[in-house]
A and B are shown apart, each in its own frame.
Chain A
Amino acid sequence: MAHVRFDRVSKSYPGGHQALTDLSFELAQGEMAFLTGHSGAGKSTLLKLIMLMEKASQGQVLVDGVNLARVANSQIPYHRRRVGVVFQNHQLLFDRSVFENVALPLRISGYTSRDLERRVRAALDKVGLLSKEKQNPIELSGGEQQRVGIARAVVNKPSLILADEPTGNLDPKLSGEIMGLFEQFNGVGVSVLVASHDLALINRMDYRVIGLNQGRLAGERAAGGVRG
């Protein structure tokens, strides 16, 4: 079964802006794929629909076979706990330590201190920031901040990770490291969907690419299509 499935989805905003038009695609369980397109092509809207930050105007979005249109408002938080998200501006909170930033999803899900500490340290270790857990994220570099964001996205062990321009502000070397992290998560069975317009980076990696143009599917390239 597809992990994420868009079935003829359209999204228009009040005021008439058509963000997505008649879009259909599937992301398989355990698949990693890129979502590309110019800014305004609808990448962010697509991710927001999966996160239930927006609801489709037409068509159906299914995650794990659940039609998101049928998810009651009170159930939205529980849906979001099953999806890890990474943002371009990483959305960290600067009033607390790196540790507390990463711990937030676990506190929300109801973990006790002991479990929580173990998991937070494991996530920070995975992104190579275990030594900086007590620092405030504002003291970290851009690449490190993004890695904290990733640690927060994976600390709850979601089966699906979404990333919206995760390398937007980073140089090629750091970008490569970040993508490497996503590859690692994908390697243990997590489905990953990365929105990015960094074509150079995408072309270096051998994954499926879904192209969007003005809210429509503009073309797909299957994995394995990259030459040496």
Chain B
Amino acid sequence: MAKPSASNQQSRVTMQSQGSAYIQHHKLMAVDSLKRLLAAPAASLMTWLVLAIALSLPMTLYVALENVKQLSRNWDQSSQISVYLKKGVMSRFADELTAEIADFPNVSSAVYISPEQALKEFSVSTGLSDVIFGLDDNPLPGVISVIPRLNSQDENGLEQLQQKLEALRHVDSVQLDLIWVKRLYQFMELGQRLVWALAALLGLAVLLIIGNTIRLSIENRRDEIRVVKLVGGTDAFVRRPFLYTGLWFGLGGGIIAWILLSIGLFWLSGPVEQLISLYGSDFSLKGLGFSDSLLLIFDGVILGWLGAWLAVSRHLSTIEP
């Protein structure tokens, strides 16, 4: 095909210069789209705040849950099993049994509390010593207090231990003081799912907010898009500034969400720690860790980019020269 000389020179771009031009255009678009956002500071700030609120809500719940988890871990370790002995078991047998239980591999310690000891503790702690002295007979059984070596993941392990203890001689009944811990775990499981559901819903909200904002900016730049397509702009080229806009929205939203959350945590940490210290725990409110913070901001960026992508692919095809 004989082409005139003009066409031979046209579009003679080497791969290398094309690559650097590609990067150059990315930089240009990144800066340009940020400038456009900052050119309308009030509108942009409003969008950023809405995004920040949507992002910070599930994160708040997540932080709360993490703190409850941390708190319950302490309780978990102090959980114990009470092994009630049959009435009239001689203390010699009780001591032997206690030693036997203490040797179980998944038992951390076992302490025998004799009926007399128990009665004494009871009268001291309740102040009902007069009533107790009036009793003919000690109504309390001997108890072996067992602290299991707990593997928090292994719920069955506890039940097996319970069964094993129940099968022992002289044992009347075994009380596992863990039902409420289990309940707490159930609640936390529920809470975790709530976090996920909330995160999914609000993530969707972020997508829609950004999608709508990008749609408006596409409408505003309709002429430009038409001209770019006319002079041979690919879809990727047309999409690029809008993807950067979405990215900036997401990044700004993520950073503001992080700031909101940090302020909130700082504001709460004093009272919460005081409250917990009343219960004799040296608990300190766990804030957003570095990786959580990064995750929050990264989520914002990804959602922003994705929302822009959805909006652009939906609306760009309707603008043809």
Interface centre among B17, B22, B231, B235 (most CB of A within 10 A): B231
CA distance A51 to B227 in the complex (A): 13
Q: Which of B5, B230, B234, B235 contacts A189 (CB 8 A)?
A: B5
Chain B residue at smallest Cβ distance from A83: B232
Distance between B25 CB and nearest chain A CB, rounded to angstroms:
6
The answer for the CA separation of A158 and B229 in the assembled complex, in Å, is: 16
Residues of chain B contacted by A188 (CB below 8 angstroms): 5-6
Q: Which of chain B's residues have a CB closer than 8 A to the CB of A85?
A: 230-231
**Beyond A1-B2, A107-B25, A188-B6: 16 further Cβ-contacts under 8 Å?**
A30-B4, A51-B321, A64-B3, A77-B233, A81-B10, A81-B11, A85-B231, A93-B223, A93-B227, A108-B234, A109-B11, A112-B20, A157-B10, A158-B10, A189-B5, A190-B6
- Chain B interface, >50% SS class: helix
Identify the closest chain A residue to B5 (Cβ).
Answer: A189
Whether A81 contacts B17 in the complex (CB less than 8 A), given A107-B25, A188-B6, comes out as no
Q: When the two chains form their complex, are residues B6 and A104 in contact, meaning their CB atoms are under 8 A apart?
A: no
21 A-B contacts, Cβ less than 8 Å apart?
A29-B3, A51-B321, A53-B321, A77-B232, A77-B233, A79-B232, A85-B230, A91-B227, A104-B231, A105-B231, A107-B21, A107-B25, A109-B232, A110-B18, A110-B21, A111-B21, A156-B231, A157-B6, A157-B9, A159-B7, A189-B6
Is B13 interfacial (CB-CB < 8 Å)?
yes
Q: Are A115 and B25 in contact (CB under 8 A)?
A: no
Cβ of B24 within 8 Å of any chain A Cβ, yes or no, is: yes
Contact status A159-B4, CB under 8 Å: yes
Contact A108–B230 (Cβ < 8 Å): no
- Taking residues whose C-beta sits less than 8 angstroms from the other chain, chain B's interface range is 20 to 34
Supposing A64-B1, A189-B5 touch, asked if A81 and B232 sit within 8 A by C-beta, the answer is: yes
Please report the C-alpha to C-alpha distance between residue A15 and residue B227 in the assembled complex, in whole angstroms. Answer: 27
Report if B316 contacts A (CB, 8 A). no
Chain A contacts with B in 105-131, Cβ cutoff 8 A: 105, 107-113, 115
B137 within 8 A of A: no
Cβ-defined contact, B227 with A104, below 8 A: yes
Query: A197 in the interface, Cβ–Cβ < 8 Å?
Result: no
